[in-house]
């Protein structure tokens, strides 16, 4: 992964969401298109079999510019 900051910005934060599952799950519904190009899609929920395991974690990623003399 690579993170960058726009010129003049010293710090910025974003979120990283990680999904894990013991079975295949079609996650294409989570893909985010530009809100300027298309109307929003409706989510389709698919139930996993009861014996499969899944979880999700959300991380805050903060990028801070450092002075570098490269």
Alpha-carbon Rg for the chain in angstroms: 18
Q: What is the pLDDT of residue 28?
A: 82
What's the token pair of residue 67? Answer: 């002075």
Provide the residue range defining the domain that includes 23.
1-32+50-70
For tokens 């990028």, what's the residue? 63
Q: How many domains does the chain have?
A: 1
pLDDT at 11: 94
Model pLDDT for residues 9-66, shown as the tens digit of each residue? 999 999 998 989 888 888 887 777 766 666 656 667 666 566 778 899 999 999 998 8
According to the model, what pLDDT value does residue 42 have? 66
What pLDDT score does 30 carry? 75
Residues 6+ apart with CB under 8 A from 62: 11, 12, 13
Within-domain flag for 37: no
- Kindly state whether residue 43 falls inside one of the protein's structural domains: no
Q: Residue 6 has what pLDDT?
A: 86
């Amino acid at each position: 992964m690579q993170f960058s900051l726009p010129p003049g910005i010293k710090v910025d934060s974003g979120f990283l969401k990680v999904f894990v599952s013991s079975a295949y799950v079609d996650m294409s519904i989570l893909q985010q298109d530009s809100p300027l190009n298309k109307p929003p899609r409706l989510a389709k929920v698919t139930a996993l079999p009861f014996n499969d395991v899944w979880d999700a974690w959300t991380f805050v990623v903060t990028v801070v510019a450092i002075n570098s003399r490269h």
